[in-house]
Structure 1
Amino acid sequence: MSGARPARKSSGRDGDETLRAFPGRLWCVVPAAGRGTRFGAQRPKQYVALAGKPLLQWTLERLAACERIGGLVVALAGDDAHWPGLRELAGKPVLTTVGADERSGSVLAGLRALPASVGGDDYVLVHDAARPCVRGDDIARLIDRGVAAGGALLAAPLRDTLKRADAQTRVAATESREARWRALTPQLFRRAELMDALERADRDGVAVTDEAMAMELAGHRPLLVEGAESNIKVTTPADLVLAEFLLRGLRAEG
């Protein structure tokens, strides 16, 4: 994968041993090697403070709290000076590896760093580091429906009127929103199939923006599983305010 750095040795407790303590639960890869330059902060976006903790830590804690997840692999930048050295969360292993400049390269590095006990036909999740408000019941529904369908992603149907702009940012047309969805994460695929799809996209010089796109290019048709609109991706400073509000609600729900 272009831009990928050699993976460093994974950290944390022995992944295979710990996985046996969580039968039937899936591993989740979290690409967190990006710089988040659009956010405009002095440190990488995933380490910006959100309600007293780094954004990335909120995301990892939400994932670890999900009963259906058994372990996490976080792909970090090779020069990451902010990683707090987490080895486990909620009694589940947290492993790390070196990611890449592009998201797809980081996901591929994370897939390669999974414990050997995760077979090629086993399903794995991939989740954005900047989505700290994901709901556990959405993840459970994604797993149940996605495994039966051979692969799936959380998504949300478009509800607003959709406009296409011209070069002067004037309205060129009103587009149909019928059958249009916004892709969310986690996304769920078999380990080997996703690795093959990402490697093929790289060989073909195609910049894929999410795992489902790579799978589509490889001939798969992932299932869209409707997820909560609150599963926002923090992209701007204003999103932090909304994420803090949403997290308060999620904590109140328990």
Structure 2
Amino acid sequence: MDCIYLAAGLGVRMRKRIPKQFLNIYGKPIMIYALEVLEKISGIERIFITYHQDFRKDYERVIEDYNISKCILTEGGETRQESVWNALQMVESERVIIHEAARPFITAELVSELMEIDEKAVVPTIPVPFTVSMGNEYMTAELDRSKLHNIQLPQIFDTDILVRAHKKAMEEGYIATEDGILVFRLGEKVRFVKGLENNIKITTPLDLVIAENLLRGIEI
């Protein structure tokens, strides 16, 4: 199975000089943690890493430093969605894994579980633990959090369905923040499975502190 590894973002919200995927947490670049997990899974044959063209040499250096052998660099797009689409053109397997560098705390057990589920689209989620409402300046609606899901990655899709979902989105000018939504909009079923509480996405400086504490084994 091929894997698309999203690592082309600049991480503007992190307010750092370099993209967040190259920042070190506990002595190792963020992007390497999940890569090392994916690299060791025998069912994954190739990992297409989307990269930002301004930092290509940095990607090459990090991959070489940590002996990641399954990787193929694929130029990213202006958006996350474009990056996935670019990498999809290289995918040859019937199913494809989508993951992102900003989520370093995946496990081989989670990935293997997702790979074993015979569904067209498989997405890990965790419950939303806080109250959520809709509105701008004023509240306009309440949402039943018992029916809400915090969507995580990695995700697995039938490749042909994901391609069709992206084509539909492009035709309609629709931009999504993850691929399960695109497949759902195609009319396909998206299977939810239990995700991991510590599978956080590192987006802000606070997330970086939380990630460092998780690696040190400090209870948050």
Scaled by the length of structure 2, the TM-score of the pair is 0.88
Residue deviations 1:137-157 (CA, integer Å, cap 9, x gap): 111111222xx1221111112
Alignment of 1:35 with 2:5, yes or no, is no
Contact 2:120–2:161 (8 Å) recurs in 1: no
From 104, 111, 126, the equivalent of 1:156 is 126
Root-mean-square deviation over aligned CA pairs: 2.2
SS across alignment from 2:53: coil
Q: Percent identity, aligned pairs only?
A: 28
Spell out structure 1 runs of 4+ moving beyond 2 A.
65-71, 84-92, 159-166, 171-175, 244-249
Specify the alignment match of 1:99 in structure 2. 76
- Report 1:224-235 matches (<5 A): 224-235=192-203
From 147, 156, 159, the equivalent of 1:188 is 156
Name the CA distance, whole Å, in 1 between partners of 2:150 and 2:27: 29
Contact 1:75–1:110 (8 Å) recurs in 2: yes
Specify the alignment match of 2:27 in structure 1. 52
Deviation at 1:243, TM superposition (A): 1.5
Contact 2:102–2:201 (8 Å) recurs in 1: yes
Gaps of 5+ in 2: none
Deviation at 1:162, TM superposition (A): 2.3
Alignment of 1:133 with 2:96, yes or no, is no
Name the CA distance, whole Å, in 1 between partners of 2:67 and 2:30: 17
1:56 partner letter: M
Specify the alignment match of 2:95 in structure 1. 123
Scaled by the length of structure 1, the TM-score of the pair is 0.77
2:85 partner letter: L
Residue deviations 1:105-137 (CA, integer Å, cap 9, x gap): 1111112123xxx24xx1110001100001221
From 66, 70, 74, the equivalent of 2:45 is 70
Name the CA distance, whole Å, in 2 between partners of 1:234 and 1:31: 13
Deviation at 1:165, TM superposition (A): 4.7
Aligned length: 215
